[in-house]
Every structure is written in C-alpha cells, then in structure tokens.
Amino acid sequence: MTQDNAPDISNVVGEVANTEKPKVVPGSQYDAESIQVLEGLEAVRKRPGMYIGSTGTQGLVNLIREIVDNAIDEALAGHCDTIDVTLNPDGSATVVDNGRGIPVGIHQKEGIPAVTVVMTKLHAGGKFEHSAYKVSGGLHGVGASVVNALSEWLEIEVRQNGKVHWQRFEKGTPVSGLEVRGDANQTGTTVTFKPDSTVMTETVFDHDALHHTLREQAFLTKNVRFTLRDLRPENPEDQRYDEFHFEGGIVEFVQFVNEGKTPQHEPPIYIERERDDVIIELALQYNASYGESVFTYVNNINTVEGGTHLAGFRAALTGSVNAYGQTYNLLKDLKDGGLSGEDVREGLTAVLSMKIPNPQFESQTKIRLGNPEIRGLVQSVVNEALAEYFEENPQVVRKVIQKCVEAAHARIAARKARDLTRRKSILDGGGLPTKLADCSITDPAACEVFLVEGDSAGGSAKQARDRRFQAVLPMWGKMMNVEKARIDKVLGNDKFQPVIQALGAGIGEDFGVERLRYHKIIIMADADVDGSHIRTLLLTFFFRLMRPLVEHGNVYIAQPPLFLIKKGKEEHWVYTVDQRDEILKRYEGQRGVSVQRYKGLGEMSAEQLWRTTMNPETRTLLRVSLDDAVEADRIVTVLLGGDVAPRRRYIEQNARYVKDLDVHAA
C-alpha cells in the first residue's frame, strides 16, 4: 500500500518568476572536498536499493535469495542436494545447505580466513574463474557480503574438514574471529541473519513470496530438495512447513503453470542439449487459451525482460512451425503467406532454462541477458530439436498448426477492427471516448485517469476531480473476461474500447507504454462483490493485453472508505473493519454514535469523494505490482479460466483466510 503525493505540476501549470539574486546555500559548494569515498560495505548500506532492488518486502526476499543462490551454485556444481530456509521467531532467517562449505583457510592476499573475505568484501567469491564453478547465478560475487552489510547481525557456520567453524558479524563488521565450535560429520554452510531496520524499510519476511521463490528454484534444479519453515507464529499449529522437490524439473514447471488450462498435447515437449559449454533446457506445451506464458532463466536467475536467449527461442519456434506448415501444405488458408510470431505463440506455455559460463547481464538485478552469441546458438539448437520432434510427432504439430492458423485469422480480424476504430476516431474528430472527462494538462507524467464503475459515481467523480491533472472515464455494465477471448473479440467489445482509446497506448503486440496518456491509471470501483468483480476483470485485461502497465507500476486501485462513524460534530472515515472496531471502542457507553456503511461510490457526495478517495494529499492508493509473474499467470488462469475444478480447489483451500465476506441477500 502506498500513500501517494500530489504530482508536481508547477512546470506545466505555470511558475512565478524569481527575480531575486541567487543565494549561496550552506553545504552547496561542489569542490574536491565534496567527493566522498565509501569504503568496504559502506556503499551497500548507503544505497541498498542498488544491490537488492528495494528496501521493502521484495528486497527482503532478495536477501534470502542471495544466500540461496550461493547454495544453488553448489548444487549446479554437483555438491549439494538439500537447501533449507527457516523464518525464526526473532525476525531472523536461516539458510542451510549441504554443499562443500565456504573455504575457511587463510586467504593469501588478505591474510584473513577466506570465509571472512567472502562476507566482508564486495566482488569476492569463487565465481570469477571456473575451477570452482562452471556456471553460477551469483556472478558478481557480492551476494553474501551485501546480506551481511544490510543485517543487524549475521552468524555463519561452516562445516568443513571435520570441524564446525563459526563467526559473527554486526552491520557487516566482524565482531569475533573465526572460531572452531566442535566436530562435524558432514559439510555445508549455515547463514543466519536479521535485517537491519536502520537501512531496511521492511523487516518482516513475506512467507508467500518466499514460498513462490523456492518452488520456482526447485522446478529449475530437479535434483535438489528445498524446504521452507515458518516458526514465527506462537501457536505450533499455525507454523508452516513446505517442501519442494520436482523430479520432472521444468516439465513439471510447465504443467504447473498450465493448471486450469486445456493442454493440446501430452506430455510437454522437452529439449535438453549442450553446445559450446552452454546447456539449453526447454519445455513447452500448447493449451487452448489465447495468452502466451513464456518464462526464461539463466543460471536459475529469472530474466524477466528476456534477452538474446528469448529472441533465439522465438525465432526458432516461428521458423520451425512455418517450415513444417509450408512443407506439408498446412498454411494454404493464409493469404499473406505465413504465421507471425504472435500466431505461433498463442496458447503457448514454455520455460527456457540456460546454463551459461559467462553470462552478460544488464545489471546486478539480472533481468535481461545480453550475450550476442547466445541468440544464434539457441536458435540453431532449438531448430534442430523441433525439426526432429515434429517429424516424429506429426499429429501433435498438425494440431498446433491448426490452432496457429486460427490465431492468424483472429489477428487479421483484429487488424481490421483496429483500422475500423481508427477510422471512427477520425470521423468523430479526435479519437477519445465521448464519456471521458479529460484533464487540461498534456504531460502524461503529471496526469492520472480514474476508471470509475457506473455513470452515477462517474458523475460525482467528474465534479470532485482536480480538472488540471485528473481525468475520469465512467464504465458501465460487466465487461468480458479476456481470459476466455481472443484479441479480435476484445477490440470489438464496447466496454473495453473506451479504455483502449483513452489510454492511447494500443493493445497486445501493438502496445507501447511510451504512448501512454496518463502515468497513473486508477481503478475506482464499489466496495462490494460487483466492484471486486469489475476490478478483477480490468486487472486481467491489463495483465494479459497491456502487461507493461503492471510491470512499470502504472496501475493503482483506489481505496474508498467502508464506513463513516459520527458522534456529534466528529466524523471518522474508516477504510477497514479493524479500524471501525478500534474507533468504536473509544465511544463505548456513549450514546449518539452512528455507523454508516458505504458500498457504492454513488452514495458519497462529490466533496466526500474528493476528500476520502481522490485528493492526493489524503487518499490511499494500492499500487498493483508484478512480483511473481509465474504465480500471477497461474492464479489468473485458475480464477478466470474455463476449467471449474481448479477454481473450486483454490476456493476450498483458501476459504479459511477470508476475513470480510460480502454476500448479496437472495
């Protein structure tokens, strides 16, 4: 949840000229003395977001991931088959592996134990030359030292050479030497650390986020068993234990993502090849849906923005399907001669996992692969493997091509629908929907648009808004479920057309976030079942057909109040049931207290709507983020797909977590 601030629109609305002579502000001098050198781990503590992405919930997950990645590197090298993560009652976390253990001997150059070097020096590790690790996710050698730097305290235990070696650090600095504490009958490393609240804005580990992360790693390393223990709840019955071990590896990964979808063939296509010291592992399966779910990894790191390996795979898949279709005259219905990449990827679920000795990532967060040679290598290998598979499984490929041809026809129909929409826009004299109340500012960074449920609430919102930077688009009726529809149907839908026109960034393959007319898209719906349904359908629409909006954090959910509590002249706008109960406790034995439940936005006046829900100075917005694309993809399918059984299972498994159930009376 984020409390947002009013946008800075002074540069657009106009500024008052400052005619005074500039004053010298103390500390504003920029000279040689201004240059600050951060020694050791100071840089990490000063700018933690540069190393772990954020200081919030995801940053905490990344701290554990840094230690887990080191254990996975041991597994990839063939020296580890068990990795355990425990969330402790004191707020710390423990990661245990049964690898070789970080070396404890004296480092020749530094003159201190090698494990101390690893924990206190940036860019120190066994990943830079390949005698210890052929491939590694922890490429930069900063993982363990970054975790140490951002911890209130950290203790490491290394089981090696028949002994248990132990050392403690506080805020990255050793507070003890490396001590021998008993005998060990196995090897491995145990790291326990507590995040430092002075540098981390969040210090409570998110169990679900870790659950998803470790499950993903278990799919990618099929020979390793992962466990997650949450010992934080006082009641032992509430403590959770999860175990992840998938012998099928990424084949099971694809089947997991496809839960709730109807496969077009069984089992998934699986390819594993090694060339030029690069291991390529690919699993793919077509289903009856209309979306694309492709996930790529390099050395177990999720490359969420793809890169050269993804480009090579896409080129190989499109080329192979077209080549087979043309050879056997299966594309004769297509007038433009062939299938596009978009056609070939409709209904595709795929996981591409690469093991590369020298990956070139674009940043420490490793979200995009840059090795230019990998594209051609992947394309060549996948071309060969798919050609073999297609010749041996003609029934599968013919069924796939039939679906691709149907997708091509839908693409052509969608193009016609786009052209028709553009022509209508020109004839209408502008291209913006008639119900849109636009704002006067044209700078997208300063603008926001409210997608409001219903004409009544839309009318109130139009009166309440700040016309300079707030636009309002009323929406009426139930929109279609895009999880069950192709893009040509979506483009022809009168509920989604105004949204597409208002945002101005296109849709699907034509979407361009740089053309977006508003950088904040705020869904404002009633606080009831119907409102939740509309929010869900809109979020599904954005996720499937305008995903960069979610990835870039442009989508928000307004938080209108649930209750108004009055006592005389006192008014309390309340947003949760817990807040209501807390305020009502203040008025116990007292008379004249009224509680009004707000279900519809139309129940509030324009002034109330502005004060509680639209005013950037006082409102609360929920920012929609995409922390786990795999889980988001699966849940959207389970909840909105055509298969009822997975949805029923999900409801049965999670019904006990519902706190505030809003049910319509019959």
Catalytic residues: 453, 526, 528, 530
Count CB atoms within 10 A of the CB of residue 542. 21
Name the residue among 612, 532, 621, 617 with its Cα closest to residue 564: 612
Name the residue among 566, 569, 558 with its Cα closest to residue 596: 566
- Determine contact, residues 511/505, Cβ cutoff 8 Å: yes
- Determine contact, residues 437/471, Cβ cutoff 8 Å: yes
Strand, coil or helix: 590: coil
**Who contacts 20 (Cβ-Cβ below 8 Å, separation ≥6)?**
none
Report the distance separating Cα 49 and Cα 501, nearest Å: 36
Output the six-digit token pair for 217. Answer: 């790693």
Tell me the HSE value of 67 on the side-chain side, using a 13 A CA sphere: 30
DSSP labels, 521-533: EEEE--SSHHHHH
Angle between the 207-220 and 57-76 helix axes, to the nearest 10 degrees?
Answer: 20
**Who contacts 21 (Cβ-Cβ below 8 Å, separation ≥6)?**
none
Longest dimension (CA), the chain: 85
**Who contacts 13 (Cβ-Cβ below 8 Å, separation ≥6)?**
441, 468
Name the residue among 62, 61, 74 with its Cα closest to residue 136: 74
Report the distance separating Cα 555 and Cα 623, nearest Å: 6
The dihedral built from the CA positions of residue 134, 136, 140 and 144, taken in this order, carries a sign that is: negative
Report the distance separating Cα 664 and Cα 666, nearest Å: 6
In whole angstroms, how far apart are CA 322 and each of 338, 400, 546?
A: 6, 11, 27
Q: What is the 3-state secondary structure (H, E, C) of 441-468?
A: CCCHHHCEEEEEECHHHHHHHHHHCCCC
- Give the strands of the sheet with 593-597, arranged side by side: 570-574, 563-567, 593-597
Residue 267: cis peptide before it, omega within 30 degrees of 0: yes
Report the distance separating Cα 620 and Cα 623, nearest Å: 10
DSSP labels, 92-150: -EEEEE-SS----SBPTTTSSBHHHHHHHSTT-SS-SSTTT-SS-S-TTS-HHHHHHHT
Report the distance separating Cα 475 and Cα 338, nearest Å: 39
Scan for tokens 């040509």, then name that residue.
Answer: 488
Residue 479: DSSP 8-state: P
Q: What is the 3-state secondary structure (H, E, C) of 368-427?
A: CECCHHHHHHHHHHHHHHHHHHHHHCHHHHHHHHHHHHHHHHHHHHHHHHHHHHHHHHHH
Report the distance separating Cα 54 and Cα 211, nearest Å: 19
